Structures are given as C-alpha cells and as structure tokens.
Amino acid sequence: MNSPRDRIIETTFDLFVKQGYNSTGINQIISDAGVAKASFYLHFKSKEDLCVEFLKVRHQFWFSELHHFSSQAKDHQSKIISAFDFLIYMNQKENFRGCSFLNILSEIPMDNVKILSVIQSHKADLRNYFLELLADDVLSDHMYMLFESSIIESQLFKSNELIEKTKRIVTNLIQ
C-alpha cells in the first residue's frame, strides 16, 4: 500500500486531470485519498504547496519516462524523433490529457510565483534537453516550439496526426 503522501499525490493527479486545479478542493483530495486531514497537513501546508510538490513529482516522472523512452536511440536525430514518439506514447497512456504544467498554468493567476516558477523550470529543462541534443540554440528552440505545439494540438484534437506530421518536418530540419 502506498504511503498517505503518495496517495495524496496520486489522487491529486487524478482529480486535476478530471476537474482541473481550481475545481479541486483539499477536502475532496483528503476524502478520495483516504487520509486524515491531519495527515494531509502534516505533508502539505496548503493546496498551493501540494500543487508545487505534485508538479515536482510529475517533472521527475515525465523526464524519467522521456529518457527511458529515448535511451535506445543511437544518435541525436533519433533521440529527437523518439521525443515526439514519446508524446504519442504518453497520449495513448494518458488519453490525450496534455501537459500537466500548461494545464495548471492556464488556471493560476500570473502572480502566483510559487507555482509559476516550477512550471517555468520544467519548460527550461525541456528547452535544455533539445539544446543538449542539437548544440544550436536557434534550432533547438525551434524543436522545443514544435514539441510544445504538438502537445497542445494533440490534446485539443485528441489525435496524434499533427505529431506524425511534425516528425516528418523535424526529420527534414535536422538531417
């Protein structure tokens, strides 16, 4: 059985997916996770602190999955293509739920620096992922933008079609 803290994080993921950040209350998280209120507050001071921790856990999971997914690729070009294949894999695994970070970004006020900084850090790490592979800041930012737009469009249309088309574009850009 998972620890109360882990159950809270897992429940948070499920509820944020179904309802969004703003429509999910602490009491519902406590109830659905099957933990005592005191246990929740032992681990998290507020919903905002829970969100920050959720995003940190999601960041670690997401990058771990990305690295694992692309670990078989032999060269930089293959690694980049595999990153787009990873999006298709995640869409199938998570039913086109999109990016947890962008989903929450759309719900928080822009002056919520605590959550915003975690989201910005995740996206900076993704930009750096492409920069490390390509060693060209303009081309790597182009890959990053294609990647990000692929996430959003596939979520919007519940389809991997544009990711497949983007893979062809990317292949031509990095030959």
Query: 166 with 84, same domain?
Result: yes
Q: For 93-140, what is each residue's pLDDT tens digit?
A: 999 999 999 999 999 999 999 999 999 999 999 999 999 999 999 999
Query: 146 with 76, same domain?
Result: yes
Q: Which residues contact 51 (CB under 8 A, 6 or more apart)?
A: 12, 21, 104, 115
Query: 39 with 71, same domain?
Result: no
Predicted local confidence at residue 16, as pLDDT: 95
Query: 73 with 22, same domain?
Result: no
Domain boundary among 10, 27, 44: 44
Predicted local confidence at residue 175, as pLDDT: 79
Overall residue count recorded for the chain in this entry = 175
Whether residue 11 is predicted with pLDDT greater than 90 in this model: the reply is: yes
Predicted TM-score of the model (pTM): 0.93
Could you tell me what percent of the chain has a pLDDT over 90? 96
Whether residue 1 is predicted with pLDDT greater than 70 in this model: the reply is: no
Query: 29 with 97, same domain?
Result: no
Whether residue 64 is predicted with pLDDT greater than 80 in this model: the reply is: yes
Query: 20 with 99, same domain?
Result: no
Number of domains composing the chain: 2
Query: 36 with 112, same domain?
Result: no
Domain that holds residue 23: 1-44
Query: 97 with 12, same domain?
Result: no
Query: 54 with 40, same domain?
Result: no
Q: For 17-54, what is each residue's pLDDT tens digit?
A: 899 999 999 999 999 999 999 999 999 999 999 999 99
DSSP labels for 52-106?
HHHHHHHHHHHHHHHHHHHTT--SHHHHHHHHHHHHHHHHHHHTT---HHHHHHT
